[in-house]
Amino acid sequence: MAVAIVLLTALCFWLAAYPIYRFPPATAFHGDSLYNPYRAATGTWYKANLHAHSIVWGGTTNAKSRIEDVEAAYRSMGYDIIGVSNYQAISRRDTNGKGMIPVYEHGYNIMKTHHLVIGAQGVSWLDYLLPQNVHQKQFVLNHLSTPAVAVSLNHPEFRHGFGRDDMESLTGMTLIEVLNHYRQSSGHWDAALSSGRRAWIVGDDDSHDVRNPDETGVCWTMVNARSLATSDVVAALRGGRGYGVAGHGGKMAIRLKAVKTEGMMVTVALDTTAERIEFIGQGGVVKAICRNVREASYVLAVDDTYIRIRVTAARNTLYLNPVLRMDGSAAPTASIDWLPSVLMWLTAAGAHLYFVRRVARWGMRPVAA
């Protein structure tokens, strides 16, 4: 009987221990000026991988490398910032500003609705084991997000942990892991941006075996930060001062020099000639292509709400954060819809009490002689 009551209590928790949110409508960025996240990129460019796994929890998780091997592998490829992001465990805490960022992968639900909590000082165990609705996803995101951390939605394309419709509703998404060694989620990114949700890119290996060259040194983030201190790295990520890179062996054949805006014109400059520079706008539509240049410009049309830039070179593809139209208004924020929330909680409490009483009565039935 006790087991049945515990199971019923757990079921009610999974079903109703969250609020119902009122989500702001999906409204494209608009305004007569541009927000350029690279305008404040006056620090040093550092190469970062924030998502890699080592053996933890007695070897029960899917990882094949010791933590020392993970660190050594990325150091050998010239990475400045390394995050050993084990499931529900902070495995390294940098206290000397040497680029070992405290981070963990949050989530143990069956649909891989996971987050990367960058700069974390503790682990949260709040999660929903079963497939999550958008209200549960917003609740967890709000719970994890504080000014001291940067939270990334991990591999949203994987098992549909986050759907594209979620991107049109969720608010407060600091980062989206667009690049991952086995998933690429540009469609989710454009869905968020097209809905007026400001979200910046990260690229990560999500390596589980650093000996495997197909999953190590293939996706990373360039971060423009004041220093390697965790607070500076988090601030840079939250401010959009970074870009994603796809390549091999952590090698960079082309780098970003600057992104400048003047009026409605955005200009990108690189340190060497690119094979192709694409200007991508609302809905992920390619608006213009320039070939075999180091510098290219694009003037936003009336219907352009944001422009992000993709650079293709011989060894690398760079995915730059978007330049956004802005009107000075605050970012949209989901708010709790109290009436349906309270009704849901009362219904769940009543159902829980009813079934607990039924189970208790069943347990007290006389046993036939």
Q: What is the pLDDT of residues 132-142, one digit of tens each?
A: 999 999 999 99
pLDDT of residue 363: 58
Q: What integer is the mean pLDDT of 212-216? A: 96
- Residue carrying the six token digits 């009107």: 327
Number of other CB atoms surrounding residue 75 within 10 Å: 13
- Confidence category of residue 349, pLDDT binned at 50, 70, 90: confident
What is the dihedral angle through the alpha carbons of 163, 167, 169, 172, rounded to the nearest 10 degrees? 130
CB 85 within 8 A of CB 117: no
Where along the chain do its domains lie?
1-20+342-369, 28-336
| Sign of the dihedral through C-alpha 258, 250, 245, 226 | negative
- Residue carrying the six token digits 């690429």: 184
- d(CA 36, CA 312) in angstroms, rounded, equals 21
The model carries a pTM of: 0.93
State the chain's mean pLDDT as an integer: 92
Asked whether the predicted pLDDT for residue 278 surpasses 90, the reply is yes
- d(CA 73, CA 258) in angstroms, rounded, equals 30
**Could you tell me which CATH class the domain 28-336 is placed in?**
alpha beta
pLDDT of residue 9: 61
Q: What is the pLDDT of residues 68-127, one digit of tens each?
A: 999 999 999 999 999 999 999 998 777 667 789 999 999 999 999 999 999 999 999 999
- Confidence category of residue 244, pLDDT binned at 50, 70, 90: very high
Q: What is the pLDDT of residues 160-201, one digit of tens each?
A: 889 999 999 999 999 999 999 988 999 999 999 999 999 999
Asked whether the predicted pLDDT for residue 356 surpasses 80, the reply is no
Asked whether the predicted pLDDT for residue 367 surpasses 80, the reply is no
